[in-house]
Amino acid sequence: MRVDGSAHPVVVVGGGQAGLAMSHCLTRLGVGHVVLERGRVGESWRSRRWDSFCLVTPNWQCDLPGHPYAGGDPGGFMVREEIVAYLEDYAASFAPPVRERVTATRLTAVEGGFAVATDRGVLTAGQVVVATGPYQTPVVPRLAERLTVPSLHSDAYRAPGDLPGGPVLVVGSGQSGCQIAEDLFLAGRTVHLAVGTAPRVARRYRGRDVVEWLDLMGHYDRPITEFDDPDAVRARANHYVTGRDGGRDIDLRAFALRGMRLHGRLTGITGGRFEFADDLEANLDHADAVSEGVKDSVDAYIASNGIAAPVEERYVPVWRPPAGTSAVRADEIGSVVWCTGFRRDHSWIRVPVFDGTGYPAHTRGVTRWPGLYFLGLPWQHTWGSGRIVGVGRDAEHLAGHIATHLAGRAPSASGYHVHPELLGT
């Protein structure tokens, strides 16, 4: 198949915030393109978040290109339906050329560009932006094969009432694990939580949301290139905190005082028992130390800039776990929620841009294969790259590359060409 890149479209795969931001930037530049989305616009927020879900990041950080947060609660935290509405309003504001319910199944390089095979036919493209999301395939440890009770991944969790009766074991204490454990606990369920090494952060400190302090301190502008070990930074777990009920800390020790059963990491399911490592105290101490370390840097920033801010007492642990390993009889657990993360799935991309670990090698989203870009990867450029706050800046950067790539070639009248089978879908 011969593809003349100058006469064919830019194809954006994925219609979440990243794909929409990309489309907005291309529209602004007059670059013809089409967005392929396997579900509906904002599908991940619609169908892959639990019912009580709300943002952890404050609303003012929702600042997609041409679509700053305009609601009445910039310091609040949108719930799931509000995030979907925010994205729907965004799409309505510039009518991106989205083809919904089209899944890209194979991307190959051909002369002059790319062939994008989909479940609705083949499309040809001069340039392609992969914006298929930072959290793709749920990861469940093979340990799960030993379970005799129902289990699901956080990706499929919706509400406490969907789980069978009896105590629930939540495995993993990143953002999802802690929030789902809280959701179950507040619904009156008996909750066991296997606590891992994720750090935590306070919601507020010295008069402001910590996110606001970190923003003022330039944290969200710091590029990945400034770190000695970018791979380690990209692999870091997110800090746990919540936006629920206006936003508050998640203090697992306080939950323990109220009856949540905390354990160390889950190490095995043997002899009819769930077994947990002897690392609960270390993990809780680590999470608190990170949180207090963030406060130290806020204190230093306040002092060096002469900012008037109320002084605040530091956190004092309210509970300490007993030493040693722990175990729970399997018949004491009615169901398990695996909050054990996600992995990328770029298996459909058959262009040699991946490194030895399967990570797409790129510089700020630009791969070494001319015309192929990624958008929305965690820490693609900054902390916000895989989030609402930073993806717009990355999209603008890629739009510049795309326009430059096109500049040397004469675009067709429409600027893009879509295979007839995709039109009108």
Ligand X SMILES: Cc1cc2nc3c(=O)[nH]c(=O)nc-3n(C[C@H](O)[C@H](O)[C@H](O)COP(=O)(O)OP(=O)(O)OC[C@H]3O[C@@H](n4cnc5c(N)ncnc54)[C@H](O)[C@@H]3O)c2cc1C
* Interface contacts to ligand X, rule CB under 6 A: 13-19, 36-39, 43-45, 49, 55-57, 103-104, 131-135, 176, 348, 376, 386-389
Minimum CB–partner distance for residue 87 and ligand X (Å): 9
Residue 195 · residue 284 · CB < 8 Å: yes
- What is the spatial distance between Cα 396 and Cα 392, in angstroms, rounded to a whole number? 6
With respect to ligand X, which residue has the nearer C-beta, 14 or 112? Answer: 14
Minimum CB–partner distance for residue 205 and ligand X (Å): 19
With respect to ligand X, which residue has the nearer C-beta, 16 or 321? Answer: 16
Q: Token pair for residue 41?
A: 């616009």
- What is the spatial distance between Cα 35 and Cα 14, in angstroms, rounded to a whole number? 7
Q: Token pair for residue 229?
A: 């070990």
C-alpha distances out from residue 347 to 136, 179, 350, 351, Å: 11, 31, 7, 10
Residue 259 · residue 253 · CB < 8 Å: no
With respect to ligand X, which residue has the nearer C-beta, 114 or 274? Answer: 114
With respect to ligand X, which residue has the nearer C-beta, 37 or 279? Answer: 37
Q: Token pair for residue 145?
A: 């094969």
- What is the spatial distance between Cα 364 and Cα 421, in angstroms, rounded to a whole number? 33
With respect to ligand X, which residue has the nearer C-beta, 156 or 309? Answer: 156
- What is the spatial distance between Cα 372 and Cα 116, in angstroms, rounded to a whole number? 12
Minimum CB–partner distance for residue 37 and ligand X (Å): 5
With respect to ligand X, which residue has the nearer C-beta, 103 or 412? Answer: 103
> In sequence order, what are the beta bridge partners of 151?
336
> In sequence order, what are the beta bridge partners of 54?
79
The terminus-to-terminus CA distance of the chain in angstroms comes to: 24
Extended beta strands in 24-88, E state: 33-37, 63-64, 67-68
With respect to ligand X, which residue has the nearer C-beta, 387 or 397? Answer: 387
Residue 295 · residue 205 · CB < 8 Å: yes
Q: How many CA atoms lie within 13 A of 26 on its CB side?
A: 29
With respect to ligand X, which residue has the nearer C-beta, 52 or 151? Answer: 52
Those residues whose C-beta lies under 8 Å from the C-beta of residue 173, and which sit 6 or more positions away, are: 181, 193, 194, 195, 196, 198, 240, 252, 283, 287, 339
Minimum CB–partner distance for residue 300 and ligand X (Å): 26
Q: Token pair for residue 127?
A: 């340039």
Minimum CB–partner distance for residue 355 and ligand X (Å): 20
Minimum CB–partner distance for residue 173 and ligand X (Å): 14
With respect to ligand X, which residue has the nearer C-beta, 49 or 253? Answer: 49
Position with the least CB separation from ligand X: 16
Minimum CB–partner distance for residue 93 and ligand X (Å): 17
- Cα-flanking dihedrals φ and ψ of residue 261, to 5°? -95, 110
Those residues whose C-beta lies under 8 Å from the C-beta of residue 170, and which sit 6 or more positions away, are: 177, 180, 181, 184, 191, 192, 193, 194, 336, 337, 339
With respect to ligand X, which residue has the nearer C-beta, 18 or 163? Answer: 18
With respect to ligand X, which residue has the nearer C-beta, 42 or 411? Answer: 42
Provide DSSP, 167-208.
Answer: -EEEE--SHHHHHHHHHHHHTT--EEEE--S--B--SEETTE
Minimum CB–partner distance for residue 48 and ligand X (Å): 7
Minimum CB–partner distance for residue 299 and ligand X (Å): 25
